[in-house]
């Protein structure tokens, strides 16, 4: 676990400097894929394997950046991100749950976070 952390932090330190917001970077180790990007002051890493390959992880990271932008209103500073941390966690919970990709559509995620059904009547 902590190895992965160090690995990711190192990846970011080496590669994320000067990268545009939401530009996707890729890495892999053995059978594990990593897609990562930066949004404002926040680095985002998505890690998985098998059918969740680099392309699916790209979709996941798009969903994440979309909701982070949405919740924060702009590419967040660290401060802003921390202020919204609770809501971001709830959104992540709708994007990935129990290790499976759940929702990727922003509107649907927003509804679910507000305790509304995915399709409203």
Binders of other proteins among 14-73, rule CB under 8 A?
Answer: 15, 24-32, 35, 41-60, 64
Number of other CB atoms surrounding residue 91 within 10 Å: 23
Q: E strands of 20-64, at which residues?
A: 25-29, 32-39, 42-49
Residue number, 8 or 69, with CB nearest to other proteins:
8
Shortest CB 90 distance to other proteins, Å: 6
- Judged by CB under 8 A, the residue of 5, 21, 73, 74 near other proteins is 5
- Judged by CB under 8 A, the residue of 69, 72, 74, 82 near other proteins is 82
Can residue 74 be called a binding residue for other proteins (CB under 8 A)? no
Give the bridge partners for 33, in sequence order: 28, 48
Shortest CB 80 distance to other proteins, Å: 11
Shortest CB 66 distance to other proteins, Å: 13
Cα 51 from Cα 86, distance rounded (Å): 29
């Amino acid at each position: 676990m902590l190895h992965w952390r160090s690995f990711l932090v190192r990846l970011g330190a080496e590669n994320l400097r000067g990268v545009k917001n939401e530009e996707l970077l890729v890495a892999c180790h053995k059978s594990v894929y990593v897609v990562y990007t930066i949004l404002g002051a926040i680095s985002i890493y998505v890690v998985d394997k098998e059918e969740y390959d680099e392309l699916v992880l790209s979709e996941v990271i798009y969903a994440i950046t979309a909701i982070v932008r949405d919740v924060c209103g702009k590419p967040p500073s660290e401060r802003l991100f921390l202020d919204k941390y609770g809501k971001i966690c709830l959104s992540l919970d709708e994007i990935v749950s129990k290790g499976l990709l759940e929702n990727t559509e922003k509107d649907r995620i927003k509804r679910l976070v507000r305790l509304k059904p995915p399709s409203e009547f």
